[in-house]
Structure 1
């Protein structure tokens, strides 16, 4: 038998052994099989996964750059298509069709079992190192770092629970797997945390916040404390949109907004910068209601407890998600009288804009309703490098698909219907483009005069 036949048998036997160690030959390509990260040594020569040789690619030929870096997928100085690693990654299958069995012929030419085994070992090492290349090259910044998520509300509430949900699951979806911790900085409906994020937090991707969507409009409403431009924040994403309601406890002799026109009704608020203050003021101005607002509560949880205890009669700007997360059936068992909602999610509950007697009033309430998209936002400061914003947004959406996060959220009764960061960013831009007459009226409402 000719010598090349004997070598072909040896190649076949060697290929079978290689497949047992995670290497296959297919249409002239060397294709790596999945391996465990713990078995790899992530050295300095790792290639980016985008540049690794895909199924169907041929080994290096004349014209392909030499050197370990080139073989591992690092771009060579020349960017001719035939020497570009992207060319091999994207055209491997076609290359295999043009030269089927190219890998086999290349290995046959080396001659001898020892040389064949050595080349198989080299190819196997290349394949394994490429499988962790993307994380190894994108990890340097977040590797060993700690991200702090500031929750703009007190512990025990739904915003706090949302921030801690993000903190438990975000790390494994970011390159470098940074640690993630939560710090509470409550006050003024998230305004204090928002100011901290805008003015004091590091702008390197290690500082994030969960704040109320209402803080977006505070600069537009003339709040002297809201010294920021919400368009400059980097909106990473939110776990869901949410409806908002104005409601009273069932012991209160109020069954509709018309009743509140006739009777003073006491509701609670955190302070400037929160929908708990803006919404009842808007109803008083546009509908003629007589909500008496008691401000100064640290957060929504404290307002809820005050309503339960009878210190307050109602709560406006109450998110449906917060009510559900308490594990109660208040929306349906008659515990609450729902006076208005801002979307059409709940049957037999009036929509706020439909209650406004004027077109101007409807536009104002539409403006306030945009907040539903910004219900549970994860936000980064201005001026964070674009590649880190992209990594955070990508990691956030991957986290939202994670079965472990979804199971965790289900236990907490937190809805998961993710809102991408760019969608939030566009809503913020739209709010800043609101007609001047709408802004003037909302400023008047917010001033309480």
Structure 2
């Protein structure tokens, strides 16, 4: 996960409590493995980690997306993991830039831009259903690395709507008067969804859709897309972990989430609406998600394609002229601006050609401020050519 993201924050708070309650009070070492929105780390965990109880996967709800789980890129079956438990922060909230509110229902004006990390992101679902059934005037841009980058894009006026469960980011944007709450999925309670106590005046998706009479297949497909959000941040051991080891981890988790220090830290740093889900209950939730019907997935995909959240075909490469705003990870990641929008690409040692001053060069020689021609297929993709002066 990202070193600055919500998964990382919750994982480290939980780790402090787990250490006190695991047998032997072991030292916990954290390894962030970013890539593919979490798929790189989950695939590595499923295929390389021994089931000896010494390694825990900390991941998030997007790794349980029904459509994603059927992809050939996925090397794991979450229903076979030895799950420990999960922590739900109370659900995400979609916020809207105050300066853009007047355009939400006015299709004669420029659409509001929704920033998204990926097309399958759970936070997209309320907005897709809002555009399809509530008449919201939206268009989506996919490819932002995470909530921190979305927050920055909103401050710049590059995007008008974003969604996150990260209370720190939400609080900043709301208190500074940049944005206001628009809609929330809500917290599942007794088969229905209630508003978060932190956002008592923000309507839930179910409230808005019910008022419009949206039921049947559209509602089933919405629940299929967002069902993984009920899990949020989850923790697991590898498949095949011995029962006694799993039991020890589950007992430690149950004690950790009741630890007064952990509860106080979660309320202060993450969300006062957070709650824990036990290992056995998490098993039931994951089993239900894995069994999502083909019809529900097809319905989701139809809307995702309509709003260009997922590709309807192979993207064609394009070449843009840009100044490098930032160069990260020794030239492995380039950030630049295209027509007022922040773009970023990956630079591969084997798939990317780098030229500086007309001569072949290395990605490590790329620097902030360089004027370049960059050939790539879209945000977050591997650039095939970077030609800089």
TM > 0.5 between the two?
yes
Taking the aligned partners of 1:215 and 1:199, their CA distance within structure 2 comes to 16
Q: Partner residue of 1:249?
A: 97
The answer to which of 160-169 and 327-336 deviates more is 327-336
Q: 1:375 to 1:262 in 2, by over 3 A?
A: farther
Question: Is the 8 Å Cα contact of residues 239 and 418 (structure 1) preserved in structure 2?
Answer: yes
Taking the aligned partners of 1:222 and 1:281, their CA distance within structure 2 comes to 21
Q: CA deviation at 1:259?
A: 4.7
Taking the aligned partners of 2:145 and 2:156, their CA distance within structure 1 comes to 16
Q: Partner residue of 1:361?
A: 218
Q: CA deviation at 1:395?
A: 0.2
**Does residue 193 of the first structure (1) align with residue 41 of the second (2)?**
yes
Q: 1:169 to 1:347 in 2, by over 3 A?
A: closer
Taking the aligned partners of 2:97 and 2:56, their CA distance within structure 1 comes to 35
Taking the aligned partners of 2:72 and 2:125, their CA distance within structure 1 comes to 15
- Give TM-score scaled by structure 2 length: 0.66
Query: What per-residue deviation string (whole Å, max 9, x for no partner) do you get for residues 102-154 of structure 1?
Result: xxxxxxxxxxxxxxxxxxxxxxxxxxxxxxxxxxxxxxxxxxxxxxxxxx2x2
SS in 2 for 1:418: strand
- Which structure 2 residues correspond to residues 42-191 of structure 1 after superposition, within 5 A? 152=1, 154-191=2-39
Query: What per-residue deviation string (whole Å, max 9, x for no partner) do you get for residues 215-269 of structure 1?
Result: 112446643423432211222122335222222211223475x457964221222
Q: Partner residue of 2:157?
A: 310
Give the structure with the larger helix fraction: 1
Counterpart selection for 1:349 from 182, 194, 202: 202
Q: Partner residue of 1:390?
A: 247
- Give TM-score scaled by structure 1 length: 0.58
Q: Name structure 1 gaps, 5 residues minimum.
A: 1-151
Question: Is the 8 Å Cα contact of residues 185 and 204 (structure 2) preserved in structure 1?
Answer: yes
Number of residue pairs matched by the alignment: 292
Query: What per-residue deviation string (whole Å, max 9, x for no partner) do you get for residues 35-74 of structure 1?
Result: xxxxxxxxxxxxxxxxxxxxxxxxxxxxxxxxxxxxxxxx
Query: What per-residue deviation string (whole Å, max 9, x for no partner) do you get for residues 251-291 of structure 1?
Result: 223475x4579642212222355325566555555556553
Q: 1:229 to 1:287 in 2, by over 3 A?
A: farther
Q: 1:253 to 1:409 in 2, by over 3 A?
A: closer
Q: Partner residue of 1:82?
A: none
**Bigger relative contact order (CA 8 A; separation at least 6):** 2
Q: Partner residue of 1:433?
A: 291
Q: CA deviation at 1:348?
A: 3.6
Question: Is the 8 Å Cα contact of residues 203 and 381 (structure 1) preserved in structure 2?
Answer: yes
Q: 1:362 to 1:176 in 2, by over 3 A?
A: same
Q: CA deviation at 1:366?
A: 2.0
Q: Name structure 2 gaps, 5 residues minimum.
A: 187-193, 313-389
Query: What per-residue deviation string (whole Å, max 9, x for no partner) do you get for residues 15-50 of structure 1?
Result: xxxxxxxxxxxxxxxxxxxxxxxxxxxxxxxxxxxx
Give the structure with the larger strand fraction: 2
Q: Partner residue of 1:337?
A: 180
SS in 2 for 1:176: coil
Root mean square deviation of aligned Cα? 2.9
Q: Partner residue of 2:168?
A: 325
Q: 1:207 to 1:351 in 2, by over 3 A?
A: same
**Does residue 267 of the first structure (1) align with residue 114 of the second (2)?**
yes
SS in 1 for 2:53: coil
